[in-house]
A and B are shown apart, each in its own frame.
Chain A
Amino acid sequence: MDSREAILERVRNALGRKLGQKPLPPPEPLLRVRYETADAKLTLFRAQLNGTLTVVPDAAAAGNAVEKLLDGQSAVASDHPFLQACGIPNIPGVTANPEDLRNTCATAGVGITSAYCLLAETGTIVLRACPQEPRLLSLLPPVHIAVVPLDRLLTNLDEMLSMTPRPVDSDSSAMVLITGPSRTGDIEQILVRGVHGPGAVHVVIVLGKTPPL
């Protein structure tokens, strides 16, 4: 008998269950979806975000805001259509959708992404791996900037899961919730930022009419 069958049989024996016996239904999931106005969510997100928040009126202003945040540093940007709409690839020093993704991310000063959504209650950026937004952009550079339209700002994780019950599926291999910078307290519980991931996180929220995602 291979380990698979052996383990399953041990589990069934331990539980006194028969092969193919139906389970009872699990307890109803608790999703505490709290709908808030956009203004309320914005206020909450600003208060919770462990990083800087810039709110701009439109896509054109987003490009300027990012340029200011970059302050001359080299940056690598994703191929997300919203970043293109904001003119991010045209900012001097920004490499968009690079040929050699890994090395570009490893040497760039800043990584620029959009986001799947933002969560107001925890100040969280949610990224979902997809062809336009690879994983390493928000991970290897020492600074992460996320440029996101206001309509992607949700109240909390529960609301996101009510809309996306499967965070990973045939379209995406990974979702990551980013709540502030990389940090460690492993030595004497003294907080150090940027130990492995970005040490600083900036979010630019774009108001006004934005293209659907």
Chain B
Amino acid sequence: MRDKYEVVIGLEIHAQLKTESKIFCSCSTRFGDEPNSNTCPVCLGLPGALPVLNRAVVEMSAHAALALNLTINQESIFSRKNYFYPDLPKGYQISQYDRPFSERGWVEIPTSERNESGHAIEWKMKRFRIHRLHIEEDAGKSLHEGMRESASKSYVDLNRSGVPLAEIVSEPDFRSSWEAYDYVQYLRRALQYTDVCDGNMEEGNLRCDANVSIMPRGAEKFGTKVELKNLNSFRFLQRALEYEIDRQIAAVESGERIIQETRLWNERDSKTYSMRSKEEAHDYRYFPEPDLPPLVVSETMIEHVRQSMPELPEARRRRLIEQYSLSPDDAAQLTDTRTMADFYEATARASANPKSAANWILNELVRELKNTGTDISASPVGAESLGAMIRKIDDQTISGKMAKDALIEMYKSGKSVDEVVSEMGGGQVSDEGAIREMARQVIASNPRQLEQYRSGKSTLLGFFVGQMMKASGGRANPQVVNRVIKEMLEGEGQQN
């Protein structure tokens, strides 16, 4: 059924800019404080109070805009979006309408459909256009439960009122839920790389609304769009889109007409519910905000921001593949956050073995970080330390097996690889004479196994290797052990 239809999705992302103070006053943007403690006449919308634009918001918006290849307008205008709601203290939200901060951007990123178990089927590069990014203030929060008299009252917390947001509106360029998913993931990463947004959907500092429609494959005119809200995680976003696509197809197939409306995703029921139809839609009566002059951004300032832009995640991913011969998957994982990518590249340098660095980080270190709930930026084993450890493997001072144990110990204690290895009784033993001597003893004390081996049970090689490792306290060089014991088991047999 899906094949008959083409899906059209557009996304509106609200990204909370991580400034210290609010967009139009000096109140703190800190999350989780006592309700209404971070407020003043301006963000409470008291009569007579006036907004003053926080320049840090402009700087961060410029970073975000450039990261998304948007053109920053030299002059943009703030407008009032008028509507009544208890958590909107002025009765209007200061936003941008006619002339937004920036327009006409794009990202070109890998995207893929997923199979039933959620694995990517085939990554392809695709360009998604971005219509605009504009600046606005957040509203407060209505609290309907959890307060003393919640049964009979609703409460309002205005700590969030006036927190700066960048609203990023895409073109309707997504043809599946996974494309939308990959785009939002990328957007989050780009905003984190440029250090302008924490990108946490669950905490609400990245919020997403979607416009969804379907049309018969090959049609030129888009179908009637439905707006989806309450998509509070990446998973919800993808699932809600899937549900909504199915719902629309089922409706059309049964001869119904799609009505333009806003629907809310309900995670518990895994369904979308109608919130309001177009007929009830707001007329926001936008008009230019007379309390704020036009926002003028100079070419010098844009240039300054351009200079301070970090390498963006997609560019970095491609470079990592190129420069370190990484697999696309590894490169994607290693560029998930800027700190991860920084950590990787520092380890690659320190170890002089980029491939191995990628493996150690992704297979071993990430597991330890996950188990202890630690961010890589706070990893007890630093990039230099991990690099030194990898060097020790490469110069055969320690074996890979030893290194695994050593890393766990280094992670626990914060000690260097040298300290840990010496505590383990020293580096690996590669001296052939010593290993031969050890082998002689192992063979001598296991005559029955020797007998069986020699009568053809060659799987017993593993047993002898194990005995060797045990006898050496894990320090014997496994390659040398393998070679020597095999040689002795077979060679001495021939002699006898």
The answer to whether A and B interact is no
